[in-house]
Chains A and B, each alone.
Chain A
Amino acid sequence: MSIQKIKILIIRTTEESSWGSCRVISPNLQKTYQHLSKEIFEIRFFDITEKFLLEDLKTNSNHMRNLANMIIQFEPDELVFVDHLPHPFKILSVLQMFLTKSQFPTLVFHIYGDFSYFASDWIKFALNFPEQKVKFIVASESQLKLLNYFSKNSNCNSRFLFPVNSNDYFFNSDERTELRKKMNLAEDDFVILYSGRISLQKNVDLIIDEFSNLNDLSPGKVHLWIVGSFDDLGANFMGVNNLPGYMFHKIQEILDLLPPHLREKITFWGNQKKEMLRKINNASDLFISLSLYHDEDFGMSPAEALATGLPTLLTDWGGYSSFMSKEWCSDLVPVNITPFGLEISAFKMVEFIENTLKAKVDFSKRKLWSDKFLKEFSIEGSSWKLAEILKNETSTFDGFSFGLKFYQKEFGHSLWKLGKEISEELTPSSENYYYQVYQNYISLNGRVNE
């Protein structure tokens, strides 16, 4: 007697996301689905572009009609949305023209960091699909807490990380040696790496500020490498809008205040393709990110760094806390939401870096940490977790809480006042709505590696 397979129809976009991390996340997620056991799952894909949503509904060549027909014929158990754009609600609202309520299978959404940004679309989804069977899959514990806060009940919410491709990121000692030689680094030179967007909420300025203090630990031997492009997104959720070119100037002003002997130890690599980024990770000694980004649901850059076995220091913020483990070398910098803003512990930062400097991590440790991280976070290592979620029973979605509607209203106001005044409710403070939402982003785990 043959076991009935679970039929999965995956909707994916053929247009590359404008968001750098999403260009990596989506293909890796798709590969994870393809890695699922073919004895248990039957997987099909449907490719979509934003143009499909604008097509004339009456024509026979309408692509959304084709998707609807595919759903009717294939009868998937679950309809999966692996991309953040086009927004799933926009796709579903067109599909509603062709399918009855009973023809919609369980809807599975991979939720990205921009969940709150698209609050209005999610609210519309809830209104248009009452009592729909749904699974929301977020990438980290903190994002799960955030989603639970925004949901009437948490039955539909689960967690599956964004996998790392182990063919792209792994520890390679030869790459380390080669690049360090090219950069004229001695064995005892210590390289601190930040990779990611150089954006306001990523606090790269703070890393540079702290770098000048860190140099006292090992004078002339500590370097700072910064990989990524400048972006001027600002903090639009609270009304702070940066003009194009602002972030570069902000960083430049900080650099101009540094004495020459420190300035020459900082290297800006610009944007790098993944092969070079892996080499840079391999050649570095510590990865740091002090991000307090309001949509930090996961952290692809830290994940890639950990995949190369790099000791990693991250703010206790958003998705970052999900990377903590005794299996590899990582730690969190405590974050506090105070009445006056966000506060991070510089002492904890210095302590971790000091310890890592003294530890003199060798190749075998890097390889061990890399292997252990990839065992859990790689496509091959993590696919079983995805399988469990897909096999689990589905719950009916009760809708989003008032919290999401309030967030949408406040965010909308921020965008309307963008660049003119700051939002009272969404400016970081322990005394307003910001705290209610973003306290979910602080794990309070503190030190896990003793």
Chain B
Amino acid sequence: MNKNKETRVVSWGYDLIRNIFLNHREDYDFQEDLYRNYLSPFMKDIFGTHTPVYIFGGQEIKLIVEKNMLTFRDGLLPLTIFFKEANVDQFAPIIAIHKDYHFIVPDEWKKKVIYYDINSKRKYSKNSLPKKILITGMMNSALSEPREFEKSLENLAQKVGVNNLEKIEISCFCPSKRNDLWGGWEEENVLRYSQAIFQKLKLDIKVPEWKHIIQESDYTDTLYYEINNGFFIKDSFPLHHILAKGAGLLADDESLTSSQFKIKNEIALSLYHSIRFYDCDYSTNDPFETQVEDLEYFKQISAIESKNKKLNFRWEEWYASYIKKYYSAAIEK
């Protein structure tokens, strides 16, 4: 080394370039974006070499299709519509969707689709209790029916042990939103959700604001539990943010683990969590597929004849009216 001339130049311009791997449309106006604002703060972009995106996220579609791999963070409804309307030959890349939704993939897409889930290094259960629990979710019936909300809380209490809840500090962030994602707002009593929290867990619940949750830098000894029916987004920003600060998830129930999936790769996303990718053995008869009765609507949406072949991923212009028309029709059937 030439000791007299050895210097290091520090430049952050390259970091700017790497962080704009998802170019948004020129005319995309975040302030007016109904969909993203509605799902805030759960719907926010994250960085990843696996190109994590939301289909209905305002990106330039032609730039998305140029990527080698896409990981769709969307929930069941956008995914259903995507597989219904998108042309499989138009998409060169490999697409990863959450493994909970493997049943939605049409045959012609199976060769391109792999599956993922999120894993945490720390896992909690009755035998390994957290000191704290942080629950997030949304309180309206478009995003979580009261009964679904209650069931999620019952599940949490059962996994951690009802008798253990008193000794665990529980915080809850559940913003309420008007139930008008696709128009036709009706009043509903969100206290039903609050009541469920207090009845299924306990009375002594902390209720931090989002800005304080996001500013906290240490979530070790914390179980993160998200109440999310996964209809609109499956892979949320809080999940990644809280896990990256040291939180953990509930331990997997080994008896329910499907043998259909074979892990192919795992990418670390932080010191504390990762994303796992799987291949799916479609020849295996998955006995748990029948457990998706509540999701029968989505199979029906897939089956409905669609006359709208225009591939347009703008929420405001097309998606909203599409959802209203086909989702409503499926429910009526």
Interface: A28 (CB within 8 A) = no
Collect the chain B residues with CB atoms within 8 Å of residue A242's CB.
Answer: 15, 19, 47
Interface: B295 (CB within 8 A) = no
Q: Is the CB of B49 within 8 A of A206?
A: no
Distance in Å: Cβ of B308 to nearest Cβ of chain A: 32
Distance in Å: Cβ of B67 to nearest Cβ of chain A: 15
Interface: B109 (CB within 8 A) = no
Q: Is the CB of B7 within 8 A of A246?
A: no
- Which among B110-118, B236-244, B249-257 touches the partner chain? B236-244
Q: Is the CB of B47 within 8 A of A419?
A: no
What are 7 sample pairs from A and B whose C-beta atoms fall under 8 A apart?
A: A229-B217, A242-B47, A243-B45, A248-B269, A350-B6, A420-B20, A422-B16
Interface: B333 (CB within 8 A) = no
Cα A234 to Cα B212 in complex, Å, equals 20
Known: A270-B246, A344-B7. 7 other contacts (CB 8 A): A238-B12, A243-B19, A244-B47, A340-B11, A341-B10, A346-B8, A347-B1
Collect the chain B residues with CB atoms within 8 Å of residue A206's CB.
Answer: 8, 10
Within 8 A of A (CB), among B260-306: 268-272
Collect the chain B residues with CB atoms within 8 Å of residue A342's CB.
Answer: 9-11
Q: Is the CB of B13 within 8 A of A422?
A: yes
Interface: A249 (CB within 8 A) = yes
Q: Is the CB of B16 within 8 A of A239?
A: yes
A248-B13 contact in complex given A206-B8, A229-B217, A347-B1, C-beta closer than 8 Å: no
Q: Is the CB of B12 within 8 A of A245?
A: no
Distance in Å: Cβ of A156 to nearest Cβ of chain B: 31
Q: Is the CB of B47 within 8 A of A243?
A: yes
Q: Is the CB of A248 within 8 A of B244?
A: yes
Contact with A along B184-226 (1 / 0, CB 8 A): 0000000000000000000000000000100111101000000
Q: Is the CB of B19 within 8 A of A245?
A: no
B47, B220, B241, B245 — which one has the most chain A CB atoms within 10 A of its CB? B47
Interface: A325 (CB within 8 A) = no
Distance in Å: Cβ of B47 to nearest Cβ of chain A: 4
Collect the chain A residues with CB atoms within 8 Å of residue B3's CB.
Answer: 347, 350-351
Q: Is the CB of B16 within 8 A of A248?
A: no
Collect the chain B residues with CB atoms within 8 Å of residue A229's CB.
Answer: 217-218, 245
Within 8 A of A (CB), among B4-47: 4-13, 15-16, 18-20, 44-47
Collect the chain A residues with CB atoms within 8 Å of residue B244's CB.
Answer: 230, 244-245, 248
Distance in Å: Cβ of A440 to nearest Cβ of chain B: 18
Q: Is the CB of B44 within 8 A of A341?
A: no
Contact with B along A413-443 (1 / 0, CB 8 A): 0000001101000011000000000000000
Closest to B5 in A: A347
Closest to B18 in A: A246
When the two chains form the complex, which single residue of B13, B19, B246 contacts A246, counting CB atoms closer than 8 Å? B19
B6, B7, B11, B49 — which one has the most chain A CB atoms within 10 A of its CB? B7
Q: Is the CB of B16 within 8 A of A343?
A: no
Residues of A within 8 A of B (CB): 18, 20, 200-201, 203, 206, 209-210, 213, 229-232, 234-235, 238-246, 248-250, 252, 268, 270-271, 292, 336, 338, 340-347, 350-351, 419-420, 422, 427-428
Q: Is the CB of B13 within 8 A of A344?
A: no
Cα A407 to Cα B270 in complex, Å, equals 35
Distance in Å: Cβ of B197 to nearest Cβ of chain A: 24
A246-B15 contact in complex given A206-B10, A341-B9, A342-B9, C-beta closer than 8 Å: yes
Cα A238 to Cα B1 in complex, Å, equals 33
Distance in Å: Cβ of B210 to nearest Cβ of chain A: 12
Cα A427 to Cα B3 in complex, Å, equals 28
A244-B13 contact in complex given A270-B246, A345-B6, A347-B3, C-beta closer than 8 Å: no
Collect the chain A residues with CB atoms within 8 Å of residue B8's CB.
Answer: 206, 209-210, 343-346
Residues of B within 8 A of A (CB): 1, 3-13, 15-16, 18-20, 44-49, 212, 215-218, 220, 237, 240-241, 244-246, 268-272
Q: Is the CB of B15 within 8 A of A245?
A: no
Q: Is the CB of A200 within 8 A of B237?
A: no
A240-B270 contact in complex given A271-B246, A346-B7, A347-B1, C-beta closer than 8 Å: no
When the two chains form the complex, which single residue of A230, A244, A427 contacts B237, counting CB atoms closer than 8 Å? A244
Closest to A206 in B: B8
Collect the chain A residues with CB atoms within 8 Å of residue B7's CB.
Answer: 336, 343-347
Distance in Å: Cβ of B173 to nearest Cβ of chain A: 16
Collect the chain A residues with CB atoms within 8 Å of residue B45's CB.
Answer: 243-244
Collect the chain A residues with CB atoms within 8 Å of residue B237's CB.
Answer: 244
Q: Is the CB of B271 within 8 A of A268?
A: yes
Distance in Å: Cβ of B110 to nearest Cβ of chain A: 29
Collect the chain B residues with CB atoms within 8 Å of residue A238's CB.
Answer: 12
Cα A215 to Cα B40 in complex, Å, equals 47
Cα A238 to Cα B12 in complex, Å, equals 9
Collect the chain B residues with CB atoms within 8 Å of residue A250's CB.
Answer: 15, 18
Distance in Å: Cβ of A277 to nearest Cβ of chain B: 12
Cα A206 to Cα B4 in complex, Å, equals 19
Distance in Å: Cβ of A311 to nearest Cβ of chain B: 20
Cα A209 to Cα B10 in complex, Å, equals 12
Cα A200 to Cα B14 in complex, Å, equals 11
Cα A145 to Cα B138 in complex, Å, equals 49
Distance in Å: Cβ of A425 to nearest Cβ of chain B: 15
A427-B13 contact in complex given A241-B19, A248-B244, C-beta closer than 8 Å: yes
Cα A8 to Cα B268 in complex, Å, equals 52
Cα A231 to Cα B215 in complex, Å, equals 11
Cα A342 to Cα B3 in complex, Å, equals 19
Q: Is the CB of B269 within 8 A of A245?
A: yes
Distance in Å: Cβ of A296 to nearest Cβ of chain B: 13
A240-B9 contact in complex given A245-B240, A252-B268, A270-B246, C-beta closer than 8 Å: no
Collect the chain B residues with CB atoms within 8 Å of residue A428's CB.
Answer: 10-11
Q: Is the CB of B47 within 8 A of A246?
A: yes
Q: Is the CB of B11 within 8 A of A270?
A: no
Closest to B218 in A: A271
Cα A428 to Cα B15 in complex, Å, equals 14
Distance in Å: Cβ of A418 to nearest Cβ of chain B: 10
Cα A428 to Cα B46 in complex, Å, equals 27
Q: Is the CB of A240 within 8 A of B13?
A: yes
Q: Is the CB of B217 within 8 A of A20?
A: yes
Distance in Å: Cβ of B11 to nearest Cβ of chain A: 4
Distance in Å: Cβ of A403 to nearest Cβ of chain B: 23
Cα A269 to Cα B102 in complex, Å, equals 37
When the two chains form the complex, which single residue of A235, A249, A351 contacts B48, counting CB atoms closer than 8 Å? A249
Distance in Å: Cβ of A249 to nearest Cβ of chain B: 6
Cα A271 to Cα B272 in complex, Å, equals 11
Closest to B11 in A: A341
Q: Is the CB of B10 within 8 A of A419?
A: no
Q: Is the CB of A245 within 8 A of B270?
A: yes
Distance in Å: Cβ of B268 to nearest Cβ of chain A: 6
Q: Is the CB of B46 within 8 A of A292?
A: no
